[in-house]
């Protein structure tokens, strides 16, 4: 029986199995588009983490059907927002969590095929890739094309596993990975862009089955397409694999 359907008039709908965590900072006009495009097959629910927005992002998320909206009164960083979303998903006992950008960078309709791939292959973690066959980029990417490719090469060397698009935020993973005692997402240094590569690195090195799937990344030049700022934020992407590989961090 498909998840989310009703068997008979008196049978309750089954619970969602994937909590889609969407961190958002001042994304009015975009967060509604993201939520409107989420799959409606019953397997997914949306947890939006409003990380200190001043433009009504949380209100728009509620109006467009977010299951849960978590509000940070002060900006804590994208890693802190993701972490709170993951913890809410675990509290709700969802077996899987997914990530989407709150700025309409990803294509939510691709979550269904990605989940199907994860289940069919018995995988623990699905990582989206714009650079593998079937993936694509829409809109002007500029210098980020070189940066994301270079990062993925360095990450692959450090993790000893080829990953074609390690910076991509589109992903689905088992919540059991987050419960692994060697995966400590509560560390103070994981409040920004560090958290996602930290968990990807840990998942691979711990022997979880990680597969890549093609996905779309869309850049909205007229609306602003990234909140990353300079070398500091690129370092936050690079440092988890470096620090873990050298044993400086755990």
- 95, 114 Cβ separation under 8 angstroms: no
Helices (H) and strands (E) in the chain, counts: 8, 9
Determine the Cα–Cα distance for residues 195 and 175; give it in Å rounded to an integer: 15
- 240, 197 Cβ separation under 8 angstroms: yes
| Dihedral angle, C-alpha 97, 101, 104, 106, nearest 10 ° | -60
Give the up-direction half-sphere exposure of residue 106: CA atoms within 13 A in the CB hemisphere. Answer: 27
Determine the Cα–Cα distance for residues 69 and 32; give it in Å rounded to an integer: 13
Q: CATH homologous superfamily for 18-245?
A: Spore Coat Polysaccharide Biosynthesis Protein SpsA; Chain A (3.90.550.10)
Query: Going residue by residue through the chain (250 aa), what tens digit of pLDDT does each one get?
Result: 333 333 344 445 689 999 999 999 999 999 999 999 999 999 999 999 999 999 999 999 999 999 999 999 999 999 999 999 999 999 999 999 999 999 999 999 999 999 999 999 999 999 999 999 999 999 988 777 898 999 999 999 999 999 999 999 999 999 999 999 999 999 999 999 999 999 999 999 999 999 999 999 999 876 554 555 567 888 889 999 999 999 999 9
Cβ neighbors of 33 (< 8 A, separation 6 or more) are: 104
**230: exposed, middle or buried (Cβ count in 10 Å: 0-12, 13-18, 19+):** exposed
Question: What's the pLDDT score for residue 14?
Answer: 82
End-to-end CA distance of the chain: 42
This prediction has a pTM of 0.90
- Alpha-carbon 245 to chain mean position: 23
**What 3-state class would DSSP assign to 159?**
helix
Domain boundaries, the chain: 18-245
7-28 confidence digits (pLDDT tens): 344 445 689 999 999 999 999 9
Task: Give the chain's radius of gyration (CA, Å).
Answer: 17
């Amino acid at each position: 029986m498909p998840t989310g359907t009703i068997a008979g008039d008196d049978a309750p709908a089954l619970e969602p199995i994937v909590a889609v965590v969407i961190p958002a900072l001042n994304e009015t006009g975009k967060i509604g588009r993201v939520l409107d495009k989420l799959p409606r097959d019953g397997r997914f629910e949306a947890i939006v983490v409003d990380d200190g927005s001043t433009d009504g992002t949380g209100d728009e998320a509620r109006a467009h059907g977010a299951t849960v909206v978590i509000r940070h009164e002060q900006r804590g960083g994208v890693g802190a927002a993701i972490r709170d979303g993951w913890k809410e998903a675990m509290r709700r006992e969802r077996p899987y969590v997914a990530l989407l950008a709150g700025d309409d960078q990803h294509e939510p309709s691709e979550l269904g095929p990605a989940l199907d791939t994860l289940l069919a292959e018995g995988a623990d973690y699905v990582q989206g890739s714009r650079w593998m066959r079937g993936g694509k980029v829409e809109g002007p990417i500029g210098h980020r094309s070189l940066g994301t490719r270079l990062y993925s090469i360095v990450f692959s060397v450090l993790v000893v596993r080829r990953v074609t698009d390690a910076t991509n935020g589109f992903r689905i993973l088992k919540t059991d990975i987050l419960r692994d005692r060697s995966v400590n997402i509560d560390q103070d240094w994981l409040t920004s862009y560090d958290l996602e590569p930290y968990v990807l690195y840990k998942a691979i090195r711990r022997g979880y089955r990680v597969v890549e799937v093609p996905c779309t990344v869309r850049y909205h030049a007229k609306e602003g397409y990234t909140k990353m700022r300079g070398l500091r934020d690129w370092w936050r992407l690079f440092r988890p694999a470096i620090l873990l590989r050298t044993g400086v961090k755990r």
